[in-house]
Copies of this chain bind each other. A is one copy, B any other.
């Protein structure tokens, strides 16, 4: 909700921050005393498992919030592209005045939104084939970016793979497979056009 309030606003604990492509916004284990609302660019959150395998837990675009952990960061966040975001101080639970109530309600809403997004992603993980996952990913991204047919995918193949639980090889193969089936077309490797929305959404298993 970046309304009329522009510039740094110390009174409300919101501050506009910028990161360059590839930079880390925060690290796993950091104290989570702020959360972020992206105004420009794209970000990703990820964890590393004991075996070194990277688990990408989410992508975030303009308007999205992330970093809602309760105490410490459970995952790190990185800039996929150059980005700008509001860094927002979390409300102190002890405060009970009007301002706190307002902030609390913002926080709640953001929390709920974050949970819903996580929830949506979980849904994508029940026994699904690579084409189904990729189709779902494309549809979801198209919706979130508000690009109905032409989706610009800001993240690399490795990011997509680590997000969908596939390898870059399978992701790549599946992209070409979807192209050959006439479902989508690719311009370069990041610009995706949905040629047959009905079939793509059917494959994705959503009807939104």
Q: How many residues of A are in contact with the other chain, CB < 8 A?
A: 39
Q: A127 in the interface, Cβ–Cβ < 8 Å?
A: yes
A122 CB contact (under 8 Å) in B57, B101, B105, B167: B57
A108 contact set on B, CB distance < 8 A: 104, 108, 111
A93 CB contact (under 8 Å) in B49, B105, B207: B105
| Cβ of A195 to closest chain B Cβ, rounded Å | 21
Residue in chain B with minimal CB distance to A118: B118
Taking a contact as CB atoms under 8 Å apart, the answer to whether A70 and B112 are in contact is: yes
A111 CB contact (under 8 Å) in B55, B112, B162: B112
A165 CB contact (under 8 Å) in B56, B121, B125: B125
Instruction: Given A108-B108, A111-B112, A118-B119, answer yes or no on A126-B162 (Cβ-Cβ < 8 Å).
Output: yes
Count identical subunits in the complex.
Answer: 2
Residue in chain B with minimal CB distance to A68: B115
A179 contact set on B, CB distance < 8 A: none
Taking a contact as CB atoms under 8 Å apart, the answer to whether B50 and A127 are in contact is: no
A126 contact set on B, CB distance < 8 A: 49, 53, 55-56, 162, 165
Q: A114 in the interface, Cβ–Cβ < 8 Å?
A: yes
Q: A63 in the interface, Cβ–Cβ < 8 Å?
A: no
CA distance A16 to B112 in the complex (A): 26
Residue in chain B with minimal CB distance to A108: B108
The 8 A-B residue pairs whose C-beta atoms are closest, nearest first, are A55-B126, A127-B165, A125-B125, A115-B115, A126-B165, A70-B112, A49-B205, A118-B118
A104 contact set on B, CB distance < 8 A: 104, 108
Chain A residues 169 to 192 lying within 8 A of chain B, measured CB to CB, are none
Q: A116 in the interface, Cβ–Cβ < 8 Å?
A: yes
Q: A3 in the interface, Cβ–Cβ < 8 Å?
A: no
Q: A47 in the interface, Cβ–Cβ < 8 Å?
A: yes
Q: A25 in the interface, Cβ–Cβ < 8 Å?
A: no
Instruction: Given A50-B207, A205-B50, answer yes or no on A111-B115 (Cβ-Cβ < 8 Å).
Output: yes
A114 contact set on B, CB distance < 8 A: 115
